[in-house]
Amino acid sequence: MIKMLVVDDEFDVEQLFSQRFRREIREGAVRIKFAFNGEDALQYLRTLDPFDLVLVLSDINMPGMTGLELLKIIKQEFPSLKVVMVTAYGDENNFQNAKSIGASDFVTKPVDFSILKEKIQLLAAS
């Protein structure tokens, strides 16, 4: 089972991911937890015992703690956790920053879920 945390300040993301992963969730292949800001994501990650989360998908542009700030903390506290950064802006600067901090991958909105599912499978297997 692939367990992941999706971090995004837009509440409709929960419904979107739940619909797009409906079959995988129903079959027990995927479990998704949602957090709507970086602080809530960190609080959730710090409570996992045993730590069995496979990856985090985080929006870069969020109010308060940005996705890049969240990525830095995750890489300090949970260095083996894979993090995929998601942004509406496909700009090179965010891509380079995310890669230099330790992002495992990078996708742009609107998310192509067939590509995202492939990336998740590859990351979960590595």
Model confidence over 11-58: pLDDT tens digits?
A: 999 999 999 999 999 999 999 999 999 999 999 999 987 778 889 999
Q: Can you tell me the distance from the alpha carbon of 60 to that of 47, in angstroms, rounded to the nearest whole number?
A: 23
The domain that holds 96 is classified in CATH as: 3.40.50.2300
Backbone angles phi, psi at 13, to 5 degrees: -65, -35
What's the total number of domains in the chain? 1
Share of the chain above pLDDT 90, in %: 75
Q: For residue 103, how many C-alpha atoms fall within 13 Å in the half-sphere facing its CB?
A: 24
Two tokens, residue 91:
């700009």
Q: What is the pLDDT of residue 89?
A: 66
**pTM of the predicted structure, to 2 decimals:** 0.93
pLDDT band at 90 (very low <50, low <70, confident <90, very high): low
User: What's the domain range around 72?
Assistant: 2-125
Beta bridge partners of 59: 86
